[in-house]
């Protein structure tokens, strides 16, 4: 037998879970992005896992589920997720050498591919005494943002700012408008 107070508590918990996307039905309905990682630089496994967790959390906060896998997005089965490629490039790769030396990565919504300049991530972490996994989490989340937002989607603050100076301690959030755009884009594509 559920008392009136108990029923109110259950309703409140279900309502809160539905609002923040944790209810079973809410989780199943969340848009999904599958990131296919190609690692040409041998990122340490623990660092990669930690950075993937950090990047995944910022997307979870806006109602988007992120999954990490290997292989190629072009060869992925149709499973309702948006499949994208993330490639860790060596310092001698043309895209790395031809890019602005202050950039940690490069991504495009047109190609569905992000390049991560791991050497620059490590250099920034060393120069600012930041945790390399934390810097990498920011870069992964930021470059994924470029694949999900319209081109030229930098902002003055938050995760999508164009330049990063000083130590990086956490993955900043998206602006409300960016979060809404990402959810809308994912809903429109699936």
Residue pair 170/141 in contact by the 8 Å Cβ criterion: no
N residues, the chain: 190
List the pLDDT tens digit at each of the 190 positions of the chain: 444 443 333 333 333 333 333 333 344 479 999 999 999 999 999 999 999 999 999 999 999 999 999 999 999 999 999 999 999 999 988 888 888 888 999 999 999 999 999 999 999 999 999 999 999 999 999 999 999 999 888 888 889 998 888 899 999 999 999 999 999 989 876 6
Question: 116 phi and psi, to 5 degrees?
Answer: -110, 125
Q: 36 in helix, strand or coil?
A: strand
**Beta-strand runs (E) in the chain:** 32-39, 65-69, 82-89, 105-108, 113-117
Give the separation between CA 126 and CA 16, rounded to whole angstroms. 41
Contact 76, 163 (CB under 8 A): no
Give me the architecture of the 30-189 domain, per CATH. 3-Layer(aba) Sandwich (3.40)
Do residues 132 and 120 make contact, with C-beta atoms less than 8 angstroms apart?
A: no
Q: What are the domain boundaries of the chain?
A: 30-189
Q: Give the helix/strand (H/E) hosting 16.
A: helix 4-20
- The pTM of this model reads 0.83
| CB 153 within 8 Å of CB 178 | yes
Measure CA 123 to chain center.
21
**Structure tokens of 1?**
């037998």
């Amino acid at each position: 037998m559920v008392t009136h107070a108990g029923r109110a508590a259950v309703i409140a918990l279900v309502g809160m879970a539905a609002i923040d996307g944790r209810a079973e039905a809410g989780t199943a309905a969340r848009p999904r992005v599958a990131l296919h990682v190609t690692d040409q630089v041998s990122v340490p496994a623990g660092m990669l896992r930690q950075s993937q967790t950090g990047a995944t959390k910022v997307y979870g906060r806006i109602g988007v589920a992120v999954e990490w896998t290997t292989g190629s997005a072009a060869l992925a089965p149709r499973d309702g997720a948006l499949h994208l490629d993330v490639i860790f490039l060596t310092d001698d790769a043309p895209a790395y050498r031809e890019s602005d030396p202050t950039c940690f990565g490069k991504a495009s919504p047109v190609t569905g591919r992000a390049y991560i300049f791991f050497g620059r991530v490590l250099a920034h972490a060393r120069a600012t005494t930041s945790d390399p996994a934390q810097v990498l989490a920011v870069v992964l989340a930021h470059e994924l943002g470029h694949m999900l937002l319209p081109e030229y989607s930098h902002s003055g603050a938050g995760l999508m700012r164009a330049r990063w100076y000083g130590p990086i301690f956490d993955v900043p959030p998206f602006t409300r408008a960016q979060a809404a755009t990402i959810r809308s884009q994912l809903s429109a594509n699936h």
